[in-house]
Amino acid sequence: MTNASNQWGQPRSTPIPGGEPVAAPPDLGTPMTPSQFIGGGQTPQAPMGTPPPMTGMPYGQAPGMGGIPGMGGIPGMGGMPGAGFPSTRRRRNIGGTIFVWAMILLTLGGVGVGVWAAVKGVSTANDATERANQLSDPHLSNDDRTALGLTGGEQNLWEGEGMARMAAVFDASIAGEPTNFTQITFYSDYSFAIAQHPTVPNQLDQYGWRLGVVDPPTPQSNDDDAPNMVFTIDQVNWSAIAGVAAQANSLLGITDGEISHIMVDKGIFSDGNVTVRIYVTSPRASGYIEVAADGTVLATY
């Protein structure tokens, strides 16, 4: 094919694309026959080579490391090189164990303390109730009689041996051999005594007894005349005084009267002798009986 001429009849200088001859492809060789392929003949060479398959790492599988459960290995790959990780055994946390036991013991201890406090609170409440009942009841309680050693069912201190036992408790509880008293006063279920200090003649102290206990002393005003006012419990016939007390209403003519208290001292107008005064009250009348220490009725008022 020749180049065409231009409009002036001249030949073209630029060849027409596609008009030149095409070169033959390179010889890739003759394809293998099936028999050659099976017999291991020479395989035609491809443009790029294919790397041979990997058959494992040169170091083998790392000791101490197994595969992931449920997963197979990666084809052509062995284990990781290097030393394996040794298996370790967990140590017990001793500090944690001690802490747990401490919390358990504290909890149990708190429960125990709570139970003890509850029981103690109930006991204290019961004691307070019993004490309140005894204070509100103007008669001797079983505890009072036990403390005084009374066995005759006495309801008031001026019954039976009540005054004698009460005076003996004061004498045993207050300093002095014997104890010097300036006054002893008996109420239905409690009593007071004023006694002289054994080494300071003008010093006096008052003691109270209630619910079976003698209270600590309460200081009284000093009295320089105290040595002339004192007496001892053996100077009084307590049984005889109790006999007069039992007849107080009839002696005073007060049918519905009750004894409020009995006072023993050396009265101002008694010429230095021990005198007992039994006081009786009622809604309509009141009075008292003056009795000598031996039980002789001296006067009624």
pLDDT, tens only, 203-219: 999 999 999 999 999 99
Higher pLDDT: 115 or 232? It is: 232
Greatest Cα-to-Cα distance within the chain, rounded to the nearest angstrom: 190
> How sure is the predictor about 272, in pLDDT bands with cuts at 50, 70 and 90?
confident
The whole-number pLDDT of residue 96 equals 75
pLDDT, tens only, 166-175: 999 999 999 9
∠ CA 181-184-188, nearest 5°, is 160
The whole-number pLDDT of residue 42 equals 54
pLDDT, tens only, 173-195: 999 999 999 999 999 999 999 99
DSSP 228: G
Distance between CA atoms of 180 and 165, rounded to whole angstroms? Answer: 17
Higher pLDDT: 68 or 31? It is: 31
The whole-number pLDDT of residue 152 equals 92
182, containing H or E segment: strand 181-186
Residue type (1 letter), 193: A
Higher pLDDT: 208 or 271? It is: 208
Check whether 129 has a pLDDT greater than 70: no
> How sure is the predictor about 138, in pLDDT bands with cuts at 50, 70 and 90?
confident
> How sure is the predictor about 91, in pLDDT bands with cuts at 50, 70 and 90?
low
Distance between CA atoms of 28 and 31, rounded to whole angstroms? Answer: 8
> Who contacts 184 (Cβ-Cβ below 8 Å, separation ≥6)?
166, 167, 170, 191, 192, 193, 194, 233, 263, 264, 265
Higher pLDDT: 90 or 149? It is: 149
Check whether 24 has a pLDDT greater than 60: no
The whole-number pLDDT of residue 244 equals 98
Check whether 62 has a pLDDT greater than 50: no
| Average predicted confidence (pLDDT) for the chain | 79
Check whether 258 has a pLDDT greater than 50: yes
Helix, strand, coil proportions of the chain in percent (round to 5)? 30, 20, 55
Higher pLDDT: 79 or 224? It is: 224
Check whether 25 has a pLDDT greater than 70: no
What percent of the chain is modeled with pLDDT above 70?
Answer: 59
Check whether 144 has a pLDDT greater than 50: yes
Distance between CA atoms of 78 and 59, rounded to whole angstroms? Answer: 8
SS3 (DSSP) at 179: coil
CB of 65 closer than 8 Å to CB of 80? yes
218 phi and psi angles, rounded to 5 deg: -115, 120
pTM of the model: 0.58
The whole-number pLDDT of residue 98 equals 83
> How sure is the predictor about 64, in pLDDT bands with cuts at 50, 70 and 90?
very low
The whole-number pLDDT of residue 106 equals 77
Mean pLDDT of 214-229: 96
The whole-number pLDDT of residue 263 equals 98
The whole-number pLDDT of residue 137 equals 81
Radius of gyration of the chain (CA): 63
